[in-house]
Structure 1
Amino acid sequence: MKIIQLSDTHLVAGDGELFGLHPARRLLKCLKHIVAHHGDAELVVFTGDLVHDGDPLAYLALKEIVAHFSLPIRLLLGNHDHRENFRGVFPGCEVDENGFVQSSFDKDGVRCIFLDTHVPDEGYGLLCSARLEWLRSCVSAAGDKRLLIFMHHAPEGTGFGVPGFSDIAFVDPESFWNAVAAGHVLQIFAGHYHLPVNAVVNGHPVVVSRGTSHQIVLDLANFRRPEFVDAEPTYNVILVGGDSVCVHEWSFLNESTIVRPHMPK
């Protein structure tokens, strides 16, 4: 099974600029690249920060873009999103019984779980008691299915060792791990940090996508407040087979120059 993850699209209204970049144009190029190279994907998951400031007009811009996309999608929320505005523009989105943007998808013995870590007006993320109860129930109902979990804020409280990131990290990750303890978690996919991260958290592999819009300069020695740069954006290609998961990071904005056409025999 092939799943595509992209993250942190940060759309603004219309074709507006953000930090000198055009998020909508980048997303369009990303989706065209996905269709051209991965038209066999089962699903494309957007792991939050769909828009930059929760503006309904930005969600309308997103809706117009994805309306012409041929593959199935799931849209998740991040800290820059606005749950009510999102649901107003996407009334058909899947939600749980409490109105949180949470759902699941089963295929080939795998259950994909999509979580809503959004907290209004805050940079950090969490799962409240209602969202945790839904997660426990979803994991329990999965039985022996293998689990892939998608969320904006990774279930880790330090910001992966980057100074300053702990303030915007996931609150109370222990509650998350307790909720999924009974399940067979293969891998967790997140966004939020605008950096590519591969980590093992509580014994489970976690992948963070760098996103399709602006990126952050990583400086582990002097990092205080993020500096945004126009670095190469990427999306993740997730290949699942049995108990194995392989993640390929693909760039799409600038095609690489071929320096040797074919490997000699």
Structure 2
Amino acid sequence: MLIAQISDTHYLTDGTTLANQFNTAAAFTQLIKAIAQQPMQPDLILFSGDVGERATPEEYRTVGNALRALGIPVRIVPGNHDAREVMQAELPDMTGIESNHLCLFDDGFDIAIIGLDTSKEGQPSGHLCPERLDWLEHKLARVKDRPVVIFMHHPPITTGLDAMDRMGLVEGKDQLSELVRQHGKVEAILCGHMHRSIFGRFAGVPVQVAPSASHQIAFDLREKEPYRFSHEPAQYLMHLWSERDGLISHTVSVNTDYHPL
């Protein structure tokens, strides 16, 4: 099974640029082109949040139409720039809906997919409240004998990017660790938010943070330094899963053109 993971497009309409530097709409167009040109098409696209910058209906509508045109199933969880109500209204076929959050569960693929909504509207940091953790425990129990991928926006690890780590997952981390360890078959936790390709471990499980499909944040491990944008290439991840080898992940540049020999 091949899974494309995209993240942090921060889509803006009407040609507006982000921070007067980044044309996120143009970057998204390139992303769609890059995925469409892949010689092996993904079976599934996981979108780990921050779909739009301002969370307007137009942003989600435009992104959704472009993704649907690929003809590939898409599953999305919100990031801290997203708005649940607007996202669910415009992307009902791609999001979950569980009372007050947009967690999702899909066991129709070779590997079970669980999307965690870590957003707390009005806050840049990530939160897993007791309600969401109870939901996760119930869903993990449903697939107790199957391999699982969990995807969410905020990483549960400390990456060393101080300013971004302070906006990471700040609530529910210990309980999440316990649930992941209890299940024992979580293949990976896939995240976004950091605007860099980062790999680590949490609760004995690989954590893979997707870079932004638009713009990156500069690599800087100094404490108390503000984050800065970087003009490094837009990228996304491709995850190849098999029962024999587990999850193998590749970082792919958006601006790569594929020319069959």
| CA shift in 2, pair 1:67/1:40, >3 Å | closer
How many angstroms does 1:23 deviate by? Answer: 1.2
Unaligned runs of 5+ in 1: none
Measure the CA separation in 1 of the matches of 2:49 and 2:136.
18
What is the TM-score of this pair, normalised by structure 1? Answer: 0.89
The count of aligned residue pairs is: 256
**Bigger shift: residues 164-173 or 140-149:** 164-173
Measure the CA separation in 2 of the matches of 1:101 and 1:21.
28
Q: Indicate the residue corresponding to 2:163 in structure 1.
A: 164
Is the partner of 1:50 in helix, strand or coil? coil
Q: Indicate the residue corresponding to 1:200 in structure 2.
A: 201
**Bigger shift: residues 86-95 or 205-214:** 86-95
Give the partner amino acid of 2:56.
Answer: D
CA contact (8 A) 1:14 1:61 kept: no
Measure the CA separation in 1 of the matches of 2:68 and 2:246.
32
**Bigger shift: residues 238-247 or 51-60:** 51-60
Measure the CA separation in 1 of the matches of 2:95 and 2:148.
19
Q: Indicate the residue corresponding to 2:232 in structure 1.
A: 231
Is the partner of 2:107 in helix, strand or coil? strand
CA contact (8 A) 2:7 2:236 kept: yes
1:56-89 CA distance string (max 9 Å, x none): 3322332332242221111210011111121222
Q: Indicate the residue corresponding to 1:104 in structure 2.
A: 105
How many angstroms does 1:178 deviate by? Answer: 2.0
1:103-137 CA distance string (max 9 Å, x none): 12225652111111111111101111111111001
Is the partner of 1:181 in helix, strand or coil? helix
- Please list every run of at least 4 consecutive aligned residues from structure 1 whose deviation after the TM superposition is greater than 4 angstroms: none
Say yes or no: does 1:179 pair with 2:168: no
Measure the CA separation in 2 of the matches of 1:63 and 1:6.
13
Give the partner amino acid of 1:69.
Answer: L
- The alignment's C-alpha RMSD in Å is 2.2
CA contact (8 A) 1:236 1:249 kept: yes
Measure the CA separation in 1 of the matches of 2:180 and 2:193.
21
| CA shift in 2, pair 1:255/1:41, >3 Å | closer
Percent identity over paired residues: 28
Is the partner of 1:104 in helix, strand or coil? strand
Q: Indicate the residue corresponding to 1:253 in structure 2.
A: 255
Q: Indicate the residue corresponding to 1:55 in structure 2.
A: 56
How many angstroms does 1:164 deviate by? Answer: 2.2
What is the TM-score of this pair, normalised by structure 2? Answer: 0.90
Give the partner amino acid of 1:32.
Answer: K
CA contact (8 A) 1:140 1:182 kept: no
